[in-house]
Amino acid sequence: MGDNRPVTLHIVIDTDAAPAPYEQLRSQISAQARSGALPVGYKLPTVRGLAEELGLAANTVAKAYRALEGDGVIETRGRNGTFVAAAGDAAERQAAAAAQAYAEQVHRLGLSSADALSAVRDALRASYGG
């Protein structure tokens, strides 16, 4: 049978650490949506409610929600609230579009495919810390 444990949003913000709190919030919600810990259709707390719960300014939470909506991770349905969208599909589409734009750019610049791939590997190592 299914897993009947309730789904909960688990966020830990370190206000003394980099990156900024809104980015910590954005990345944690995004990761939980991608992993399935927050399933598609999960209703997120209101901006004000989450801000109070985390001890953050409402503008900080609103900024994170706007970034997540721009990334296709969440969607706002008017007065009904904010929900986890089909993030995997949106993330994959955005990654494919970015990869296509990159491929076109390096081709115009005259880089070989090996040099272009090397640049991607370096960028991924820098971003993912590996």
User: Digits of tens for pLDDT over the chain (130 positions)?
Assistant: 445 556 788 899 988 888 999 999 999 999 898 888 888 899 999 999 999 999 999 999 999 999 999 888 899 988 899 999 875 566 676 777 788 889 899 999 999 999 999 999 998 888 888 6
Query: Model's pTM, two decimal places?
Result: 0.66
Beta bridge partners of 43: 83
Residue ranges, comma separated, of all CATH 1.10.10.10 domains in the chain are: 21-84
Architecture of domain 21-84: Orthogonal Bundle (1.10)
Residue 80 identity (one-letter amino acid): N
Phi, psi of 82 (to 5 degrees): -115, 135
Give the C-alpha distances (Å, rounded to integers) separating 2 from 6, 35, 75: 12, 17, 26
